[in-house]
Structure 1
């Protein structure tokens, strides 16, 4: 397709694209923006809906063809880019459908999938880098999906997307209150483990789950951890012993330890 050159920040397309830098704008348009060659290559390879390729006027690298392509004046491109040293290429994607009702989640659990029926439930994680790393780690550990609970940072936040490195296209990502997700999982016979620090919590090293056994793990907010009501609702609470003097582990690090250990 022929490239269209845009030289003004006041261009209607540019104004709409700029709105995608906010969660509200992404929700209203059903679109989001990604940046960088690797992430765009992964998007094309994953077969997600790609609406447009956006290039800096000085960009000379390779880019996917067959899509609507726009080349922007440098100052216009810079108004869209989120990174300090942009590579000169962006893409506009359609937001993937994310279940937000218990009935939808129940149907998803019953649907056969390639991955084992293991789920990571994220209760109010607010740091974008943490959430992106958590999703990427769940993908690496072979989990079927991640449930984003109320108060969790938006999946399509730029820093989240860069941290996932495309893993959110490989596994299911669901938006649902954690309490509802837990009830649905337990109703399907899938035990739910919650991270906790109270004295009833089990050392994760004492647990013995078969490699393919279904289960779900709840991890919590950076400062507050998993909500007490969710810990009470879980089948079991677990903790990671820390023989050193650190007060706590970063939530993404703790999640990685548990996902692979389980």
Structure 2
């Protein structure tokens, strides 16, 4: 097993570049931190390089998968600190290959328009996995799926859905051709209350959630078939995007059973 003790090691420099969205896209690789996420990545066969301190690599669950990584490096605590994005690190990291993007046209789809909060995106990935939305398609200017905060907030559900970046005008036109019903969540358009919308398990739905501050882009509004408003106390102005989206996906899931 190779050892790396210096933060200026070229391998470490190359791995640190994966914290940049453009580099991740170019290499089609991303950096994971933490035992739970890394074990999920091993189960999907995505781990290319495993790095950890001597103590972290000795953990039984990790030990079982050492032979599955193309390369394994024992790193010093100082290198682990350099790689880490959290206050209390488990000192275990993996460089992983991105899954090839694929749209599941047999299930409901979540569309994200310029979402910027990593916590919101992480929550929505978990909810999509929970409520059988097999694909999430985000506009190119949405925060990256492989952002470290997004990855941590998904709690491993990240690997259960197809994650795609695409321009939503094109995507929605394609989905309409596949007989999807486009659902919107605009606060500035006439909307049906969620309680009054009935979902049919014989239909396919694509739900659009907009930017936390600006909402859904104007050019997408005319493409919406049904605009939905989630009922709530009238003293509250609006719901968090992740909460509203999760509530709607849950209702679609329940009524589609």
- TM-score normalised over the length of structure 2: 0.90
Residue 48 (structure 1) aligned with residue 48 (structure 2)? no
Q: CA deviation at 1:150?
A: 3.0
Moved more, 166-175 or 123-132: 166-175
Cα distance in 1 between the residues matched to 2:227 and 2:20: 36
User: 1:34 — aligned with what?
Assistant: 32
Is the CA contact (8 Å cut-off) linking 1:122 and 1:220 kept in structure 2? yes
Aligned-CA RMSD value = 1.6
Counterparts of 1:140 and 1:146, CA distance in 2: 13
Offset of residue 212 of structure 1? 4.8
Change in 2 beyond 3 A, CA 1:214/1:73: same
Structure 2 equivalent of residue 113 of structure 1:
none
Aligned: 1:6 with 2:9: no
> Residue 100 of structure 2 is aligned with which of 93, 97, 109?
97
CA contact (8 A) 1:182 1:234 kept: no
Matched, 1:88 2:91: yes
Instruction: Give me the whole-angstrom Cα distance separating, in 1, the residues matched to 2:29 and 2:189.
Output: 45
Structure-1 residue corresponding to 2:119:
129
Whole-angstrom distance in 1 between the partners of 2:10 and 2:36: 28
Equivalence for 1:181: 171
Rounded Cα–Cα distance in structure 2 between residues aligned with 1:189 and 1:58: 53
How far the C-alpha of 1:173 sits from its partner, in A, is 1.3
What's the CA shift for 1:253? 0.5
Alpha-carbon distance between aligned partners in 2 of 1:173 and 1:185, rounded to the nearest angstrom: 16
Q: Could you tell me which residue of structure 2 aligns to residue 246 of structure 1?
A: 236
- Local SS of the residue matching 1:233: coil
C-alpha distance in structure 2 between counterparts of 1:135 and 1:256, whole Å? 10
Structure 1 moving runs of 4+ over 4 Å: none
- Give the C-alpha shift of residue 188 in structure 1: 1.2
